[in-house]
Every structure is written in C-alpha cells, then in structure tokens.
Amino acid sequence: MILKTENLSHRYGANWAIRDINIEIADNGIIGLLGSNGAGKSTTMNIICGALNQTEGNVFINGADIRKQPELAKQSIGFLPQNPPVYLDLTVDEYLTYTAELRKIESRKVKAAVAEAKEKTGITHFSKRVIRNLSGGYRQRVGISQAIIHKPKLVVMDEPTNGLDPNQLIEARKLIREIARERTVLLSSHILSEIHLLCREVIMIESGRIIFSDSMDAFNNYMQPQSVLVRFANPPPVIELQQVQGITRAEYLTDKQARIFFDGEEDITERIIVAGVQRDWRIREVNLEKGQLDDIFKQLSTQTIQ
C-alpha cells in the first residue's frame, strides 16, 4: 500500500478542518483530490507529507507510520506545495543540488540525480539560470524536479496548475502524466476540468469530510449533461423554445445565445436542431454543458447525509 490514512482528523482551535479521512492507494497513476476552496485539501496533504501533525488518526506511507517513522516515510514522498518551494537567488543546479543533499542522496550520486530530474522536467537548458529569472511555468518545473529528485513512490501536488497560462498548462499536464507512469501522484484541485482531464480516480472532500471516493468512470455519472448552449442567427422567443419536447426552461445569455435546460432527454440536441430547421432559427452552434462542480457537491453531500 503506497498511501493509507486511518480516520485522519485535524482541528484548528475548536473547529475541525478535516474529519475521519480514510484513503487507500495501492497503484501508480494520478489520483485527484477534489474540493472547493477551504474544503480541507491542503490540510490533508500537509499531514500526509509530514508538514503538519494531525490531531487524530494515522498516516502510512509505503507501510511506514509518518509519526513513528518520519524519516523512513518521507523517503517515499515528494511534495510540491501550491507555491513552489524554490530559492529565487539560486541557480537551478544550485537549488536542485541542495534539495538532493536534503534528501540524503549519496554525494557521488547527487550530480546524476540532478541531471535526471532536470531531464524529466525539461529544464536542462536552464541549469545555470537564476530561478528568479524563470517564468512561472519553469519555476513550477523546478518545484516538480525537487519533488521527484529522490525517486519517491508518492508525489503529492497541491494545485500544481494554478496560475499557469494555457500553454504552460498543457505542458504541466503532460509532465504530470509522465511522472505518474512510474509512481503515484496525488493531485489536489478545486477545478473540476483539471481533475477530469488527468485522473483515473477521484477523492472528493467537502467541509472536511470525504463525500466521494471512486473511479473517474463512476464520477462521470454525476457529470451528466444538464443544459445545452445554443447560438442562433435568428433567435426565437423563450416561449417558443420551451415548446420543444423535453425542454423545461430557457434563458438568453446574449442576444444570440441561449442556455436551454432539459429533463434528461438523450436526443435533446436532435430535437432542438429539427425544431430550428422547421422554424427557421438558423442554429449556428450547439454545445452540451456538463454538471457544474457546485451542483455535484450538492448531490454527493445530500447522499452522504442520507
């Protein structure tokens, strides 16, 4: 078992930040830790990585109790906090050499470990560059390099794509997938699409408790289309849209684009298109919308309470 938590709980003062968090991860791949801001994701990750002592419960990393055997447990962990823990006035080589030594990598193996980490994250050409002079995306890569330099079995990443531009985002996703081929990645995010794109399993935390833990396929059951966006060249009145079978409600977002809610009809797009042809709506675009994160939280929270 690469990661196991038992009734993990922590409180700040009188308030519980997380309560009875039970996680078991045995295989390589990307596991998503999903939750809204303040749900308890960062607290959970900080405890798993040994950066915060839990109030109650146990954490085992590759079989080692992180409280009783902290050094042994941390040999199997790589951690990338939300803000990369880099020293801006060091060069990439200086910083990674320092982190390799912190990880107690043998002196004769440090140079090779630094070179391998740089190659895997695509920053070899920045070896002598001062970190302060790197873009946000490349600072993130340096942060990932320090998290994998000792070849841990578990890499924990807290909001690793936060603040990246679209091009950096694509590269970061590719890098995370490559890392997950050889080890387990526990990745937190409050962005539903990010978890959906990267993860094979999902653990969802809300108000400090796990409300869902299963495969991405199972999670997809909660992401069924609920509405459709339609752009018209000749937009009809709302009342006319609501006459189409299956449509429960419609609203215009712009003069030409409407959000149409429906009751689960699988062929709703076909019905809209047929009606549009018959009534000369001149439809230009139709897009199904997946369930929104807040809606999924509500569904799962309700089921958990019941």
Domains of the chain: 3-222 (3.40.50.300), 225-289 (3.30.70.100)
Is residue 224 pLDDT above 70, yes or no?
no
- pLDDT value at residue 305: 43
Average pLDDT over residues 162-168: 79
User: Is pLDDT above 90 for 89?
Assistant: yes
Using CA atoms, how far residue 208 sits from 106, 193, 221, 222, in Å, is 40, 22, 23, 20
pLDDT (tens digit, 9 = 90+) per residue, 244-284?
A: 988 988 999 999 999 998 876 567 888 899 999 999 999 99
Instruction: Provide the whole-model pTM.
Output: 0.76
Return the ∠ at Cα 226 (arms to 220 and 230), rounded to 5°.
125
Sheet harboring 201-206: ordered strands across? 77-80, 154-158, 184-189, 29-34, 201-206, 209-215
Interacting residues of 9 by C-beta distance below 8 A, sequence separation 6+: 16, 18, 19, 20, 21, 54, 55, 56, 57
The overall average pLDDT reported for the chain is 90
And the tokens for 273? 């298109």
| Strand ranges across the sheet with 257-262 | 247-252, 257-262, 227-232, 283-289
